[in-house]
Amino acid sequence: VNKFMQGADDYKKDLLALRFLSINPIIDPWVFVILRPSVLRAIRSVLCCRMSLKTQDNKETSPAAKSK
């Protein structure tokens, strides 16, 4: 940024850009690994099972279930 702006001696934006560029190649492969369709299906199945178990527990402990 400072190369194209005359008289600008603010290096904070340059350092921020360099930090982003150095972290980006490390993070990108992990994002693609985590967001693969098979991984997303596994996460969804785990979350859906937990939610269905919670709803079953709520149904069993509800007053309407006790009266049956």
Angle at 8 between CA 7 and CA 14, to 5 degrees: 150
Report pLDDT for 53: 60
Each of the 68 residues of the chain gets a pLDDT tens digit; together they read 556 666 566 678 778 888 888 888 888 888 888 889 998 888 888 888 776 666 656 665 655 555 54
- No. of H helices and E strands in the chain? 3, 0
The answer to whether residue 1 sits within a structural domain is: no
Q: Is the pTM of this model over 0.85?
A: no
Report pLDDT for 23: 86
Report pLDDT for 4: 63
The answer to whether residue 67 sits within a structural domain is: no
The answer to whether residue 49 sits within a structural domain is: yes
The answer to whether residue 7 sits within a structural domain is: no
Query: The domain containing residue 58 runs over which residues?
Result: 12-62
Distance CA 56, CA 66 (A): 13
